[in-house]
A and B are shown apart, each in its own frame.
Chain A
Amino acid sequence: MKTVPFYKNIKVLGVLTQVVVSLLVLFGLYFLGRTAYEGMVSRGIPFTFSFLWQEAGFSISEGKTIALEGGRIVLRPFEPSDAYWQAFFTGVYNTLRVSIAGIVLTTLLGVMVGVGRLSSNWLVNRLSFAYVELVRNTPLLVQLFFWYFGAILKLPPIRQASEWFGMIVSQRGVFVPWPVPGPGFDRYLPFFLGGLLAFLLGAFWSRGRRGLWLLGLLLLAAGWLYAGDPFVLSVPEKRGFRVVGGAQLSPEFSAVLLALVVYTASYIAEIVRGAIQSLPKGQWEAAFSLGLNYGQTLRYVILPQALRIIVPPLGNQYLNLTKNSSLAIAVGYPDLFNVYGTIANQSGRSLEGILIVMGVYLSLSLTISALVNAYNRRVALRGARR
């Protein structure tokens, strides 16, 4: 066989172009970075990450950070005497909090509305349609303002807020009774963890499930009796300017969560509807002729198949939701991007800060992608096996 000279070899050429293009890109980035660096130096602005260990000196309205206290790493509210890196952590914590809650809730709402769009019940059908069209066709930022300034801040002030079953709903947020560790908590902890472990094992090992779950329940109950009051209910109570006790959903958190959930659900609804409609009609007819009713058909026949079509675009929506949470700054919710702004301004380290922020969002997005892909492989496999 005659050998092709390397400069005519398509494979070599292919690799070569890739290398050249990557080099050009790298060089471009290097050039930009280098000039920026020199520009900063010539203006007397250093490029350094050492500020991360300096005291922040400002307050963050909600969210937790990690700290070393008495030799233990604890999660506790951010304090002004904490360092800038802890402020960043609080931002990440708040971004995660609103994104995770958002992803769970928007999936539920989205699937409900998506199925509702195909409902034969006229009212449900029209309502779902109106919801999707209204929400999908207005900007998210506008909706966020609506929820915050137009809805939540219009709730009654704390002093006039009514209380139902220990719950207080006011423009300062929603306060609910919440269990907090009580006097017996330390004695209860081993039982609690053991019970949890039993439940987890049961979830994976299907044959021993019954027994394990029973064991878990037993552990939890027996531990409770033994330890005595591991948890007590903290009931919110108005005092002076504020409410003490219970758990609080701040108005800012609630507004961001509502806006993200409602907005993203309209897209998920369309994905769900599209997936269901793309299944051949015969699936429905076959299920009905087997005697399954509407709900059963949906649950056992349609949704499992639709799932395979839904999962990839759903992952996209999860990414969107997470990234859109950076709009939180508009209503003062201290998510990562918001906290970054304050840090950058107070420390003067904008470029360093934004690099950190990009790194965090990138890792978040890649993690979500990886999780969705893993799940996708699972459902796809199951489908192939069937």
Chain B
Amino acid sequence: MKRLVLIVLSFLLLTAFGLAQKSRMDVVMERGKLICGVNGKAPGFGYVDEKTGKYMGFDVDFCRAVSAALFDDPDRVEYVPLTAKARFNAIQTGEVDVVFRNTTITTSRDGSVGVDFLPVNFYDGQGVMVKKELGVKSVYELEGATVCTNQGTTTEKNWTDFVRSQGWKGNKLLTFESFDKVFNAFMSGRCDAVTTDKSGLVGWKAKAPDPEALVILPETLSKEPLAGFTFQNDSRWRDALTWIVYATIQAEEFGITQKNLDEFLKSDKPAIRRFLGLEGTLGKGLGLPNDFVARVIRHVGNYGEIYDRHLGPNSPFFIPRKGSLNDLYTRGGLMYSPPFR
């Protein structure tokens, strides 16, 4: 009961204080640091590094990119780990400024839940993982199976839909608050299979004591375009965040990397000079420092660099990019930034 009272009170208080009409942009600048909601437990995407004790991962790098753009320093970030269930509340109450936490864009989240999404930073799809010893080769063999996943996800609804559309009987879906519990229950045999975004499955498989004993089934059950999200009705803040995400993609298209940034800063091509803030007022127009793109690239790198750092062939959580939806549109993928002009 105490817990409930606390939740209600903090909800009321936070909403009350969040009322200030200012854009979040000004609040963050005054505060001097970004409060960023992340996963905390998703291997490769947002997790605490065991050696350094720091937050790491693909999604975390987008928090760092925002911090770099605003403060010319990627580390002025306070990370708030969020479960799938808590993430929308964190924005509704204004507890965090933005969330990068492998979140699927859906109509109801944009609509009735009341958040606004940023551009997609990872195209994913839902998959199912089983133990090899089960001998199952396809999700269509899972009639009657008990499946585990985490609460408050598209995953739980997709699987429910899937079972309904197959007309299966006796299937059970067991949901836990966080994915480490899901995985624990799966490994100890409570469920026949786990389901979540395929990127997540790859990560959890790699972290398992014996990854070879697990198989990710070939089917993809859904579209899961993952994106950051922030407040509804705060265009200034959302615009700034949106173009920071696009900047990483455009930088890759231009071929600008952390290493060669200094050469590009000497470029005389107008598009490049505008992009890096040497000419024009693109940054200022968004209420950002004019050289925000250069800052992002210097401190965090372009989209491809971020991808390779966390999900590339040399990382423990390798997810092939070539020819996938996450490749640049110039190479047949879907990563595409509107023009910076």
Contacts and interface: CB of A to CB of B under 8 A. Distances in A.
Interface of A: 32-33, 35-36, 38-40, 42-46, 51, 57-59, 61, 80-81, 149, 153-154, 157, 171-172, 239-242, 244, 251-252, 323, 326, 329-332, 334, 337-338, 341-342, 344-351, 354-355, 357-358, 361-362, 365
A349 B161 CA distance: 22
Contact of B189 (A35, A153, A331, A348): A153
B184 A149 contact: yes
A329 B177 contact: yes
Interface in B239-280: none
A43 B232 contact: yes
B333 interface: no
24 contacts: A42-B233, A43-B92, A45-B114, A57-B161, A58-B157, A59-B156, A81-B164, A149-B185, A153-B185, A171-B190, A172-B190, A240-B143, A334-B175, A341-B85, A342-B85, A342-B152, A345-B88, A345-B151, A347-B112, A348-B88, A354-B8, A355-B8, A362-B1, A365-B1
Nearest to A347: B112
B173 A61 contact: yes
Interface in B105-163: 108-109, 112-114, 142-146, 151-152, 156-157, 159-161, 163
B15 interface: yes
Contacts of A347: 112-113
Interface in B1-47: 1, 3-5, 7-8, 11-13, 15-16, 18-19, 21
B188 A154 contact: yes
B89 A61 contact: no
B197 interface: no
B174 interface: yes
A342 B144 contact: no
Interface string B154-194: 00110111011000001011111100010011001110100
Contacts of B174: 61, 252, 332
Given A334-B175, A346-B152, A348-B108, 12 more contacts: A35-B15, A43-B92, A57-B157, A330-B177, A345-B84, A345-B89, A346-B157, A348-B109, A350-B11, A354-B11, A361-B4, A365-B1
Nearest to B9: A32
A277 B145 CA distance: 54
Contact of B16 (A32, A61, A242): A32
A35 B18 CA distance: 10
B192 to A, nearest CB: 6
A338 B114 CA distance: 22
A58 B174 CA distance: 11
The 10 closest A-B pairs by CB, nearest first: A348-B113, A345-B152, A35-B16, A39-B15, A45-B114, A59-B173, A153-B188, A36-B15, A39-B19, A332-B176
A42 B231 CA distance: 11
B224 to A, nearest CB: 16
Nearest to B163: A59
Contacts, number: 159
A211 B176 CA distance: 54
A173 B88 CA distance: 34
Contact of A244 (B3, B12, B170): B170
Contacts of A330: 177, 181
B19 A42 contact: yes
- Point out which of A240, A345, A362 has the most chain B C-beta atoms below 10 A from its C-beta: A345
B36 to A, nearest CB: 19
- Point out which of B11, B170, B188 has the most chain A C-beta atoms below 10 A from its C-beta: B188
B96 to A, nearest CB: 14
A44 B1 CA distance: 29
A348 B114 contact: yes
A344 B89 contact: yes
A241 B192 contact: yes
A51 B108 CA distance: 12
B24 to A, nearest CB: 11
Nearest to A252: B174
